[in-house]
Chain A
Amino acid sequence: MAIEHANVLRAAHLARLGVSDAQAERYVDDLSRILEMVDRLSEIDTQGVAPLSHPLDATQPLRADEAIEPDRRDTFQQIAPATADGLYLVPRVVE
């Protein structure tokens, strides 16, 4: 399946990745060649084959729903770009 300019812009938006129109053009070229290589998967008959998401076929183990990590908010916020009163600051989202 070929990838088109609009697909690249859509993926960039979904990934919240700033991509200009001119850059998108270059990605169309790169991604098309990657997808062309990936398209070879369609040569294989996979009817009735269950998808493998974990290489040991393991399922997600569950643990008791208990807090086990200590509160280290102050340490973690020391490396944040902007904080105040224990909160992370971002541009205003609600007027």
Chain B
Amino acid sequence: MHDKTLAELARGLAAGDFSSRELTSSLLERVKKHDPAINSFITVTDEQALKDADAADTLRHKGEAGILSGLPLAYKDIFCTEGVRTSAGSKMLDNFIAPYNATVVEKLRHAGTVSLGKTNMDEFAMGSSNENSYYGPVKNPWNPTLVPGGSSGGSAAAVAAGLVPAALGTDTGGSIRQPAAFCGITGLKPTYGRVSRYGMIAYASSLDQAGPMARTAEDCAMLMNVMAGHDARDSTSVARNVPDYTQGLDKPLNGLKIGLPVEYFGDGLSPEVETAVREAVRVYESLGAQVIDVSLPHTSMAIPAYYVIAPAEASSNLSRYDGVRFGHRCDDPADLEDLYKRTRAEGFGDEVKRRILIGTHTLSEGFFDAYYRKAQQVRRLIRQDFLDAFSRVDVLMGPAAPTTAFELGAKADPVQMYLQDIYTIAINLAGIPGISVPAGLVDNRPVGLQILGPHFGEAHLLNVAHVYQQATDWHQRRPEIKE
């Protein structure tokens, strides 16, 4: 059962081939057996999962089950889950039991899904390798010496290892798409504002977005049908009609116009990754698509702009962790300032501190115009690049990351690590949706094809990804895991 997609499992449950309790317990067994080596979960909520599975089975007997009833999934540990520790991968929140559910958690719970627990992540979603977690690094199921990518590394690894059919992630600069690519799964970052951020621990509020990580585009579509939509509790969520993302997945791609950004195929791209991505593009041509080169001239400015805007927003968002209302508090503070300073020095890890310092510095008197204002101006130019490109083509395609998964410990220099996100970060600055789909293996390491669309173009992206997955089998490849 662990190899099946959400859609297959939904059909199995509906046909009575197995119950949600059978499915849930078999996956919990796999978590117990395999996760000590992978470390993809921070918290496993087995008792609650079995209770929820039983409730789903009862509903099904009564004929009241919905499409997602009884289907297991997992949440990146950045989504607040009532009564369950929500750590954001940080010592600061190691003792934080969330007093409410995030809106997406509430919606998916209402739809009958069964949560197996909370997945590992880079602390406060800051990282591209999942090595910045207070709970230790996650290992890539394809090869335990490799990183799974980050920051949603636990979600990606858990799905790839067959511990859970789908998981939720968040993406601020590539944190769904890059780990999806490194672990050989499908991950969608929706348009900014498409999914509520309420109850999602904030990193950079103008960039953060939640999305599904699963084995297929079809599975992502099933989850998006529940996740997407306006939420009165998140004023940045967009009040706009939510289409049925599972309708139109099979629409033929005749005449699809694909743009290849020349900047995404330049220096720094591994030749093997390029070969795999160009092969995927040829598959699209064989399906009737036309391919042209386009330019996104400000591509090289995306990482510099991001490392002003994201840390600036983070330094503000993370000021709430003060040792007063929840989370870690230092012992025996001498006075209030000592309480703040030691609590924060003890509770935050190295990368989080770097970003708080950068953000505080660039927002401080005398530096604001040169950094923050300038970065926001460049952000507009970056977004305009995409708007111009989408006036000529329907989608853009390229690699999700410049290389396949790298070795644990290989990128000790923070700037080297930041450069990993060269193909994903501009998408968050522009607010557009992007999806990574498995498109090859290089030395048994998965390659991700990234497909980008205009604002609110998720349904089309899922269609374009799904038709590719009907024509290829890269998404069906699984890492070898000793049973």
Contacts and interface: CB of A to CB of B under 8 A. Distances in A.
Contacts of B430: 55
B357 A56 contact: no
Interface in B328-346: 329, 333-342, 344-346
Interface of A: 1, 3, 7-8, 10-12, 14-19, 27, 30-31, 33-35, 37-44, 46, 49-56, 58, 60-61, 63, 68, 72, 75-76, 78-82, 88, 90-93
A30 B339 contact: no
Contacts of A44: 298, 301, 378, 381
26 contacts: A7-B361, A11-B361, A15-B319, A16-B341, A18-B345, A30-B354, A38-B362, A40-B300, A40-B301, A41-B308, A41-B374, A42-B370, A43-B301, A46-B377, A51-B380, A54-B236, A55-B206, A55-B430, A56-B431, A61-B235, A68-B232, A76-B99, A79-B97, A79-B99, A88-B324, A91-B334
B contact residues, range: 35 or more
Contacts of B232: 63, 68
Contact of B374 (A42, A54, A58): A42
B341 A58 contact: no
B429 interface: yes
B99 A75 contact: yes
A78 B354 CA distance: 31
A42 B369 CA distance: 11
B96 A81 contact: no
A50 B99 CA distance: 40
Contacts of A33: 413-415
Contact of A60 (B97, B235, B432): B235
B360 A49 contact: no
Interface in B45-96: 95-96
Contact of A17 (B95, B334, B353): B353
A11 B354 contact: no
Contacts of B413: 33
B42 interface: no
A51 B324 CA distance: 35
A5 to B, nearest CB: 12
Interface in B311-336: 315, 319, 322-327, 329, 333-336
